[in-house]
Amino acid sequence: MNLTIIGTGYVGLVSGACFAEMGNRVNCVDVDQTKIEGLKGGKLPIYEPGLEVLVQRNFAEDRLHFTTSLTEAAQTSNIFFIAVGTPPGEDGSADLQYVLAVAREIGQLITDYAIIVDKSTVPVGTADLVRTAIQKELDQRNVTINFDVVSNPEFLKEGAAIDDFMKPDRVVIGTEGDRAKELMRQLYAPFNRNHERTIFMGVRDAEMTKYAANSMLATKISFINEISNLCELMDVDVENVRRGIGSDGRIGFSFIYPGCGYGGSCFPKDVQALIRMAEGVDFEPEVLLSVEKRNHQQKHWFARQLEKRFGSDLSGLTFGIWGLAFKPGTDDMREAPAKTLLADLIAAGGKAVVYDPVAMDEAFKELPADWFESGKVKLAAHQYDALQDADALLLVTEWKPFRNPDLAAMGRIMKQKIIFDGRNQYEPDTIKDDGFEYFGVGRLLNKA
């Protein structure tokens, strides 16, 4: 099939590369000329394991193309995926200006039956707005062209997006048109060889499914973080509680790992957007509001622990920080707990030396320039360089190289042997055996 994907961000680029890998001819369109030229040269704007090889191979084999011209791409396509950004507005609702701008341009260009697929995460009712925008352009052209608007939300985990796309748990497709349903079934058939994973439903149902899925996962994270805070106050080890409840098949172990809060481009934005949707129909989303509130508070976990150990004034103290990205496997720092930690630390007078395996370049984009200029934040070339003369290690992101570190070497270079483990990666008894003080999320702190 001949596809056009508008937007070469995370969703658009992964989708385009994976569709091309299955033999489709894919045109990826973006208004950013620099980004397009970089992609043609094999330079990706994001980090995602396996994506660079996939893009370069399919580009070299002439299945994957990059252009700034939707007009050019539309000449050979009848399926258009809208994968542009939907950033949160000031009130947390999704901003649809880019989605609707693309819809209008598609309406100006199509000459035959077309399927327009909303791949971006968009609120319930967006397909109706896209349909109206396209039809308005067709009316102005005084032409009659049939088209269908389909909702096909993505369920990609950053750090595992290629596998998620190639071997999906499910493919959700919202459509009311039989013709669109059949073409979408054909398009996704190569991803359903082992068993049928495609779930067809109404367009509005599909739009809601995406938000409900991410909000459910965010709820599990906030729930276990709430329990971890209670455990800290009641002399309970949350890790034992986690194992106890996770063994129940109705609950499971996924997304019940205590930590310093969730971040990224999906959970915070989608929970906020669903809250705004609820408020738009005069419904009080009490659970969602609590999920968001707990996550906001959880991101200050490090600040609370540092104050307990060092007091409110951190002047003269330097902290080694492992991890900037909101999760391992990505360089994405959007809404990352590390950003909250750094802001709290600096506000209290402390300094930080930070290391992350892939997000170092992103740090200069996401963090205030004056933090670097003033020397309050420095980036280290190696994870152990961040610990030189450090008063404590703050583990923020659970990258694999951080999971089993050389404690003896750490002890030799750190000023004080203290670890604040924001992801509960270490066993307190092991840490204490090497002479370290240990603070974990919901753990029995400094247990003798």
End-to-end CA distance of the chain: 65
Which pair of structure tokens corresponds to residue 186?
A: 């054909």
> What is d(CA 250, CA 242) in angstroms, rounded to the nearest whole number?
14
Burial class (CB in 10 A: 0-12, 13-18, 19+), 231: buried
**H/E run at residue 264:** none
Q: Where are the beta strands (DSSP E) in 119-167?
A: 147-151
Residue linked to tokens 């509130």: 293
Q: How big is the chain by its Cα radius of gyration, in Å?
A: 24
Coil, helix or strand for 423?
coil
Q: At a CB cut-off of 8 Å and minimum separation 6, what does 401 contact? A: 357, 383
Residue linked to tokens 């459509």: 175
> What is d(CA 17, CA 26) in angstroms, rounded to the nearest whole number?
8
> What is d(CA 419, CA 386) in angstroms, rounded to the nearest whole number?
13
> What is d(CA 126, CA 135) in angstroms, rounded to the nearest whole number?
14
Q: At a CB cut-off of 8 Å and minimum separation 6, what does 229 contact? A: 298, 442
Catalytic residue among 18, 28, 231, 266: 266
Burial class (CB in 10 A: 0-12, 13-18, 19+), 178: exposed
Spell out the long-range contacts of 300-305 with Cβ–Cβ below 8 A and sequence spacing 24 or more. 300/340, 300/344, 301/260, 301/261, 301/422, 301/441, 302/260, 302/341, 302/344, 302/345, 302/394, 302/396, 302/420, 302/422, 303/341, 303/344, 303/345, 303/348, 305/420, 305/439
Which pair of structure tokens corresponds to residue 47?
A: 């980090």
Closest CA to 262 of 302, 301, 294, 295: 295
* 377, β-bridge pairs: 352
Coil, helix or strand for 113?
coil
- Residue 266 annotated to the active site: yes
Q: At a CB cut-off of 8 Å and minimum separation 6, what does 180 contact? A: 115, 148, 150
Closest CA to 387 of 357, 364, 417: 417
Catalytic positions: 266
